[in-house]
Amino acid sequence: MVRAVGTAANERLLDVGGGSAAYSIAFAQADERLRATVLDLPTVLPIAERHINAAGLAGRIETRPGDLRRDPLGKGFTLILVSAICHMLSPEENVDLLRRCYEALEPKGRVVIQDFILEPDKTAPRQAALFALNMLVGTPAGSTYSYEEYTAWLREAGFPGVREIRLPGPSSLIIGVK
């Protein structure tokens, strides 16, 4: 993912729902100029902090408690990562989250969504279609979504530029540029 997304000078990353901080760590290890913030629930942050400290990156990756469903995301970020999050949320919650991402980004900043991306008819790829059933059973309103749905949400949130990067495996990246 780091190679596909890349980094820029003085990149400031927000890892929304960053869990263990694995992606923040990978981005920070790839570019010593990058600074990151992992936003997650207070019960999750000790896990992230353990991994950040073990990687020797406590000076470059901070943690911040927050609920991605409702809390402000902050300001001044140049890159926001939303990995394996959107499938847990309803379409309305996704639009709200993406609007808050837009507000948190600097001009020309990017939001990167990593998730299962369905074909327009929502029957493929197979893993993504099956995962939609898992979300139907396991969440109040989650699902897997198509590129067209993500594009519509990103545009509604204010992002004029949207593109997809296919990754090997079951997930892809969708990037919105402010």
pLDDT (tens digit per residue) in 1-21 = 999 999 988 899 999 999 999
Q: Which domains does the chain have, with CATH numbers?
A: 2-177 (3.40.50.150)
| Per-residue pLDDT at 124 | 62
Task: Please classify residue 103 by burial: count the beta carbons closer than 10 Å to its beta carbon, then call 0-12 exposed, 13-18 middle and 19+ buried.
Answer: middle
**140: pLDDT strictly greater than 60:** yes
Element (H, E) at 105: strand 105-118
Residue from 12, 87, 100, 110 carrying the catalytic annotation: 87
Confidence of residue 133 (pLDDT cuts 50, 70, 90): low
Q: How would you classify the pairing of strands 61-65 and 77-83?
A: unpaired
- The rounded distance, in Å, linking the Cα atoms of 35 and 22 is 14
Based on the residue annotation, tell me whether 87 is a catalytic residue of this protein.
Answer: yes
- Of 137, 76, 135, the C-alpha closest to 101 is 76
